[in-house]
Amino acid sequence: MKTILLTLIILLSSLSCSKGLNSSQLEQEITKKLNVHFQNKLFTLSDFSRRGSYSYTPMGQSASQLLLYFKTKLVLNKDYKFTDWDSLSVGSLTNILGSTPSGIEGIASEGNKKGDILTVYGTSNYKQGDNDSWISTNSPKSKNNKTTSTSKKYVSEIDASKKYDQNLPEYKKSLKILNQIFTTMSAQRDSITMQTAEYELKQVLAKANMYADIQKGVTTIATGSQAGNYYSIGNGIATLNTAKVKMKAYLTSGSVENCNLAQDKKVSFAIVQSNVAYMAYRGVEIFNDNMPMSDLRAVGAMYPEAMMIVTLKEANISSIYDLKGKIISIGQKGSGGHTDAISLIRAHKIKQKEFKKVIEVSFDISLKALRAKKIDAIFLTGSYPMASLDQLNEEMPISIVSINDEMIEKMTKRFPLIKIKIPRKTYKGQLENVYTVGATAMMVTHKDTSEKSVKNILNTMVGKNSELSKINTRANYITRRSLQRGITIPMHSGAKKYIRGR
């Protein structure tokens, strides 16, 4: 009986593995992908093995597709720095190989040398063509290609409503009013308005829980929207924290709000854009109605971020001026992206009334609106490649609009910004480099935060960098040496000592 069962298992396994390309064909496909995107023959594949397949039918389609799993070693034929700001990054490598942040091992923050070996667990997606041929597509964002990298549950306040203090005064009355509001909006079937209201409600609930946790002595990190990298990396830091004090990450509207929270000691730490921190510290531009936030201190630089204008390729938008008469989203008020969008539009001397409509909603909602073709462009500031844009690009090709050299020079002179190159092939179908301006994502705190607390969070950011990089590939940029890169406000004394190794 055992012999029969074993025979059946082997037979079923062989049938599963026989679907689609064989190991040799799959290896050739992966080699071709790498040579097309990265420097030709940068890698040599070794110990390649096909690990199985998964057949599925994408939602809304009738034809089935096949996801092939593989494991391989990539031997570098020359030196390459995946954390260089102007080159294709480990995020690009992850996308090309259908991998996850934890699926690529061996990336060195200071740069990899010739002969280094990367171990890769990846996937490649196919659909069946004519004559039983298999046509390559990109890996689906399915249950088999999650962006999370560990079964360990992250510290999260997305479900803060479950912990909402039911004894707050008049809470029943407030809930009743909320129910009436959402019932009315649901009947109107305005999806963008409904999504915005739901997002704002989550923010309020998370914030209430955050303030309660501060009173309990929890170390808090203000991040950004749920779909953004600030939340992902902040949540990873909280998860990997080994200090005795509990640490949590919270959803916020972004950099502008985060500066205010840190200045007012309403959070322990906050992730912000370096240019927004600069304006807040000096009380200029969008903060000119406020007193300078002179108590803000830098903990450390994290990774580069680019100002981007994202459109659908079919719209044929090649310049910001092409957006006149169109509907655009400039991000949620309180976010750094919203501030950057306004600066970018003003720098080009375009007035708001020249657009058909300007909406101010979160990136999550903006992305859904662009996918539904309810808006023509999204203005955002973020790292690259961005997984959510990569996924949209697979469904409907996108285009990122470049800024001309004259405007880049103008903006970098006026604001603490840097010129950024988004290398060609960062996104599938991107044939040219995209040039724009950007800033540095950085961790900030209040000057009164203890040196011990600052050193604790840096011990996680730098000391546990390899684990953090498996949660979010942007963490590869964080090293002790890079902590001061692009910093626009004074460093906290604890950060200075950490950098000096004290």
Predicted confidence at residue 152, as pLDDT, reads: 34
Domain ranges of the chain: 16-137
Residues 294, 281 contacting (CB under 8 angstroms)? yes
SS3 285: helix
Q: Measuring CA to CA, how many Å separate 18 from each of 11, 48, 50?
A: 11, 16, 10
User: What does each C-alpha distance from 93 to 53, 99, 293 come to in angstroms?
Assistant: 21, 8, 40
Q: Which two tokens stand for residue 18?
A: 């026989």
Contact 196, 365 (CB under 8 A): yes
Q: Give the three-class secondary structure for 342.
A: helix
- Residue 444 forms beta bridges with which residues? 270, 298
Which residues does residue 139 pair with via DSSP β-bridges, in sequence order? none
- Contact residues for 497 (Cβ-Cβ < 8 A; gap 6+): 451, 455
Rounded distance between C-alpha atoms, residue 222 and residue 269, angstroms: 6
What are the 10-residue block averages of pLDDT along the chain, 502 residues in total? Answer: 43 49 92 88 93 77 82 95 86 90 88 94 85 67 38 36 42 64 66 70 73 81 88 95 86 92 95 96 88 96 96 96 97 89 94 95 91 96 89 94 95 91 93 95 97 95 93 92 93 96 78
pLDDT given for residue 187 in this prediction:
66
363: Cβ contacts below 8 Å, ≥ 6 apart: 225, 227, 228, 331, 332, 337, 378, 380, 382, 388
Site of tokens 């960098």: 465
Q: What are phi and psi of 201, to 5 degrees?
A: -65, -40
Q: For residues 421, 425, 428 and 430, what is the CA-based torsion angle, rounded to 10 degrees?
A: 60
pLDDT at 185: 64
Tokens of 145: 């290609």
> Are 77 and 116 contacting, i.e. CB atoms less than 8 angstroms apart?
no
C-alpha dist (Å) from residue 373 to 63, 165, 228, 351: 25, 39, 21, 23
Angle at 446 between CA 452 and CA 248, to 5 degrees: 70
468, 460 Cβ separation under 8 angstroms: yes
Give me the residues paired with residue 309 across strands. 379
